[in-house]
Amino acid sequence: MRSIPFSIDGAVGQARATTLKLARGTVQTPVWMPVGTQGAVRGVHMDLMHGTGTQIMLANTYHLHQRPGEDLVARHGGLHRFMGTELPLLTDSGGFQVFSLEKDVTEDGVTFAYEVDGQRTFLSPEVSMEIQQKLGADIAMVFDECVAFGQDRKYVEASVARTTRWEARSKVAHGRTDQSLFGIVQGGFWADLRKRSAEEIADIGFDGYAVGGLSVGEGHQKMCDVLDVTTPHMPWNHARYLMGVGRPLDLVEGVARGIDMFDCVIQTRHARSGVMWSWHGRMRVTDKRYRKDMRPVDEKCTCSTCQTYTRAYLHHLFRVGEVLGATLAAVHNIAWFHQFMGTMRASILDGTFESFRKSVRDLDDEGEPENPEGEGQGKSGGRTQQPPRRSRSGG
């Protein structure tokens, strides 16, 4: 393992602003990580990714193992060269991807059928570590078992014990000294099992710690309840990562409970259907109200999409089926969420986090219903007759 230099730059209650110094760069938190499942953030060229403010990305061990295989990635010199980036990368262990599949779980590991071609596949702590070390991300995740929401307590108790043993085996099998290794806390939806898992995983000792087993259909309040009984038992002086969560309300409430890192696919998945996020709320740019709207998606956003294109142009691209629309929407969503997290970090450092937290309404709702035919009215009542100009930074 590579120990991560880690500092807490400021805190308001449990909310922290921290800095991680990884092998390929410094990451300031709270941070959301875009997901490049197959070794690419779907539809977004890496040059565009570099202009969004992205600090670190995630790739998927399970999928890359299936196609193209970790040996081919290693022949490229590792995942960074394969993807064409020097940004820090994190690879998950594959445990989350197999939890919803038909599988055979034993002490050795998990056997399941790959959903694309039915090929039988076996993953274990040792196999997962071998794959991730060949991929060569800055952070690897231990192999664990993610249990479904609603699973009975007896099974979860056995799973927690097995996961602890698997994580200990992961640490033994992980020998790459330029790659950090994070542990994962499980325990389902029982407070005592979460406490037990957190303490057992901390006793093994890792470079950082993740909360797993959430974002499996439990809902926002249940997620918060689990964090309330989990993070107090996780080491304060290490990075904390909540896996698979990324809506604004979830992010701010996770940070309020001591989480530093997040990942989620909704930013790019929503973009492909024309759903874009802003400080006004979530908007679907394919709606006819935006057909002649001369404003950017978000007038406060500094991304290249908002600095260059109008809502009317984006509406047009989706209407005619032009794939560029999805790319521009994804660039905006990625950049906007980084700006959202940056604003949250600033509020922790200046002591106004609770005010920021209260201001974050549920941004799932459609925003800005006014201006249905796009007369260019901004909040000040002025008109934007020309498309916004590109900023000098391009980002």
So which residues are the catalytic ones?
92, 263
DSSP string, 73-137: HHHTTSHHHHHT--S-EEE--SHHHHTTS-EEE-SS-EEEE-TTT--EEEE-HHHHHHHHHHHT-
SS3 154: helix
Q: How far apart are CA 384 and CA 382, in angstroms?
A: 7
- With residues binned 3-state (H G I as helix, E B as strand, rest as coil), the percentages for the chain, rounded to 5, are 40, 20, 45
Exposed, middle or buried, 234 (CB in 10 Å: 0-12/13-18/19+)?
A: buried
Report the chain's terminal Cα–Cα distance, integer Å. 34
Half-sphere exposure (Cβ direction) of 153: Cα atoms closer than 13 Å = 6
Strand partners, 383: 377
Which string of b and e fits 3-30 if b means at least 16 CB within 10 Å? Answer: ebebeeebbbebbbbbbbebbeeebebb
Q: How far apart are CA 332 and CA 132, in angstroms?
A: 30
DSSP 383: B
Instruction: Please check whether residue 58 is in contact with residue 89, taking contact to mean a CB–CB distance below 8 angstroms.
Output: yes
The owner of tokens 């009975």 is 152
